[in-house]
A and B are shown apart, each in its own frame.
Chain A
């Protein structure tokens, strides 16, 4: 199985700052099929980014994805209080389609 390791575990930033979240894979992800999700408490995950760099429908351009191969990044510009959530990466390149363990983003 492909193991996805996310860092940092927790990120605490102020409104208006930039958040940089990392997702590292134990092996190359085929076709860069890497997705990012936002999960607020008590809700299902919400797709933000797919194919490493493509924003899902309705996602603000403050959210952007980058990377390829084994190293991927989610960047959130101009943080807002509503961005407080846990963020997960998931790979669709090879079955089983594993998830990372998550990065908790706190807004001060």
Chain B
């Protein structure tokens, strides 16, 4: 079965960077794009960006341009999201998510990674 397993919670100081991993299994890694979505406390989800694991091409939300880097490691079927210049308002749960064949919607989700930014 399809699984997306994320790295554990992080606590960072303002100005620092955080790198969250999403290890995939149960399917052919290069066949499906992987997205990153975050959700601040009490807020709706926010789409951050997407990577094509086949070639590493990315598309990021303008809101995060210049601060977010999305990469992949095909040898471990893992996708990474790094966010730099952290601010307290970046405190959120960060999810990786994937569509299914023929479905324009996120069917498969990671369990989420809480990132807390605090001095």
Contacts and interface: CB of A to CB of B under 8 A. Distances in A.
A56 B105 contact: yes
A47 B37 CA distance: 14
Contact of A101 (B44, B47, B63, B106): B44
Given A88-B45, A90-B45, A96-B47, A44 B105 contact: no
B106 to A, nearest CB: 6
A44 B97 CA distance: 10
Contact of B104 (A37, A92, A99): A92
Given A44-B95, A45-B45, A99-B46, A50 B62 contact: no
Classify chain B's interface size: 20 to 34
Main secondary structure of the interface of B (DSSP, over half): strand
A105 B95 CA distance: 23
Interface string B106-118: 1101111000000
Interface of A: 1, 31, 33, 35, 37, 44-45, 47, 49-51, 54, 56-57, 88, 90, 92, 95-102
Given A31-B104, A95-B59, 5 more contacts: A44-B109, A56-B107, A90-B106, A97-B47, A99-B45
Interface of B: 35, 43-47, 59, 61-63, 95, 97, 100, 103-107, 109-112
